[in-house]
Amino acid sequence: MTTRLSSKGRRAALAMSAALLATVALGGPAALAHGPDPLLGSGTRWARDQVVPYQWDPNGPPPAWAAAEIDAAADDIERTINSRAATFTRVASSGNRIYYGILVPCSSYGIACMDRSGAPDSFTGMWFRPHNYPFDWGTLKWCQAMATMANGCYDVENVALDEFGHMELLGHHVNYSDERDFSDSVVQFAARNRPKEGWNQHFLGRCDVARLQLEYSLQSSSDHVSTCLNLATTLAIGGPTSVATGGSARITGTLKIAVASAARELSGDNLSGRSVTLQRRALGSTSWSTVGTVPPSATAGTYGLTIAISSTADYRLVFDASVTEGLIDATSATLRITASSGCTAATGTTRKVQEQIVPPGC
Ligand SMILES: [Zn+2]
């Protein structure tokens, strides 16, 4: 069930109670303050990378100043989803309509609203109330419709971005009570008007992106995970358990997001291009020392480093998560590599290259 969602109104006591009502009525999952945005209703997904078309409603096409801003919001979505969420593009002919005018199904206090019923095949509509519409709280002013922009007006692109966010499946972000995290989401119950902080934000916030990543996955295994998330990771180590003294060992690692239902579509996904280091602990020692950085290999999520083995020792890999993304550090299991006593490295070959010369005793 997806209902028409009133989305934008004046910041007022009214907004508080209506937000609560929306959360209950839409049945989205409980969301902690400052977590990823909740799902809107049942959160039916579009397909990954789906391109959703729209056209202006012939019965209420937006005026040019609004049309340009709505199209710009669709571009903002594509530029900042940082995931395989749907994108929106205007076409000559589509049953998915965007309307501007007085005949809207929005709540009595909403300046715009949308209805994504029909997803993933279509959506029902998106509606914007007109400039100078008289609400009981005052007269609606769209900033772009004003010859001289004045405080108290609403930014069309920002409001349209909220509506496209809903169209993806995002519910309103649950802010801290003092709203210090307001800019972490543009999908807000109440838009801020000019000149309040965030009134003209033209990109998705990190907690909008976090939900999109959870539902639609990353575009690439090397993409950054939103800092609005805090996901556990797993790091597996591979390599030989015995090497001739003086020989070499290829140590490999595989880094993934830990398998967990809370990680949704990201569960178990590969993580490429991260900072993985190899550590070594000598036999009988309790302390680890860093051998070096383990570079990424060609396969997604894999890393590898070849080292010389001079004595038996323990090895482990360490993933040090960047503060610029929402991942938790991981340490691999310990791999003991035994150096075969008395052996030296095989050097040289006969004319048949596969017949390696093996020193005595190995
Ligand atoms: Zn909204």
- Looking up residue 279, the CATH number of its domain turns out to be 2.60.40.730
Same domain (yes/no): 53, 186: yes
The average pLDDT across 63-70 equals: 98
The residue whose two tokens read 């007109």 is 130
> What distance in angstroms lies between residue 93's CA and the mean position of ligand 1's atoms?
26
Same domain (yes/no): 128, 276: no
State the pLDDT confidence band at 341, using cuts at 50, 70 and 90.
confident
Is residue 350 situated within a structural domain?
no
pLDDT in tens, 202-233: 999 999 999 999 999 999 999 999 999 999 99
> What distance in angstroms lies between residue 162's CA and the mean position of ligand 1's atoms?
5
Of 148, 181, 216, the last residue of a domain is: 216
pLDDT in tens, 117-149: 999 999 999 999 999 999 998 999 999 999 999
Go through 228-246 and write b for each residue having 16 or more CB atoms within 10 A of its CB, e for each that does not: bbebebebebebeeebbbb
Q: Who has greater pLDDT, 2 or 179?
A: 179
State the pLDDT confidence band at 112, using cuts at 50, 70 and 90.
very high
> What distance in angstroms lies between residue 199's CA and the mean position of ligand 1's atoms?
13
DSSP string covering 173-200? P---TT-TTGGG-S--SSPPPTTSTTTT
Whether 275 contacts 320, CB under 8 Å:
yes
Same domain (yes/no): 116, 253: no
Same domain (yes/no): 201, 271: no
Is residue 85 situated within a structural domain?
yes
> What distance in angstroms lies between residue 312's CA and the mean position of ligand 1's atoms?
61
Counted domains in the chain: 2
Same domain (yes/no): 122, 249: no
Is residue 333 situated within a structural domain?
yes
> What distance in angstroms lies between residue 308's CA and the mean position of ligand 1's atoms?
59
> What distance in angstroms lies between residue 184's CA and the mean position of ligand 1's atoms?
14
Its pTM stands at 0.86
> What distance in angstroms lies between residue 172's CA and the mean position of ligand 1's atoms?
6
> What distance in angstroms lies between residue 164's CA and the mean position of ligand 1's atoms?
9
- Looking up residue 202, the CATH number of its domain turns out to be 3.40.390.10
Has residue 4 got a pLDDT over 90? no
> Which pLDDT value is given to residue 31?
54
> Which pLDDT value is given to residue 34?
82
Has residue 349 got a pLDDT over 90? no
State the pLDDT confidence band at 318, using cuts at 50, 70 and 90.
very high
Residue 120: asked if its preceding bond is cis (omega within 30°), the reply is yes
pLDDT in tens, 6-52: 444 433 323 332 333 333 334 444 455 689 999 999 999 999 999 99
Q: What whole-number percentage of the chain has pLDDT above 70?
A: 85
Considering only 29-33, 38-42, 93-97, 244-248, which range has the smallest mean pLDDT? 29-33
> What distance in angstroms lies between residue 160's CA and the mean position of ligand 1's atoms?
9
Residue 163: strand, helix, or coil: helix
Q: Which spans in the chain are helix H?
A: 13-26, 64-80, 156-168, 206-216
Is residue 51 situated within a structural domain?
yes
Q: List CB contacts of 54: < 8 A, sequence separation 6 or more.
A: 74, 88, 89, 90, 91, 94, 96, 97, 98, 123, 126
> Which pLDDT value is given to residue 332?
98
> What distance in angstroms lies between residue 225's CA and the mean position of ligand 1's atoms?
24
Is residue 310 situated within a structural domain?
yes
Which range marks the domain in which residue 155 is found? 5-216
Whether 256 contacts 234, CB under 8 Å:
yes
> What distance in angstroms lies between residue 139's CA and the mean position of ligand 1's atoms?
19
Same domain (yes/no): 110, 259: no
Same domain (yes/no): 212, 288: no
Is residue 186 situated within a structural domain?
yes
Q: Who has greater pLDDT, 342 or 360?
A: 342
Same domain (yes/no): 121, 257: no
Same domain (yes/no): 205, 129: yes
Is residue 163 situated within a structural domain?
yes
Has residue 251 got a pLDDT over 60? yes
> What distance in angstroms lies between residue 7's CA and the mean position of ligand 1's atoms?
3
> What distance in angstroms lies between residue 18's CA and the mean position of ligand 1's atoms?
12
Crossing angle of helices 64-80 and 156-168, in 10° steps, is 50
> What distance in angstroms lies between residue 95's CA and the mean position of ligand 1's atoms?
22
Same domain (yes/no): 252, 103: no
Same domain (yes/no): 178, 295: no
d(CA 282, CA 315): 9
Same domain (yes/no): 185, 301: no
> What distance in angstroms lies between residue 293's CA and the mean position of ligand 1's atoms?
45
Whole-angstrom CA distances from 61 to 55, 65, 107, 339 are 9, 11, 20, 76
Q: What's the distance, CA 195 to chain centroid?
A: 28
Is residue 329 situated within a structural domain?
yes
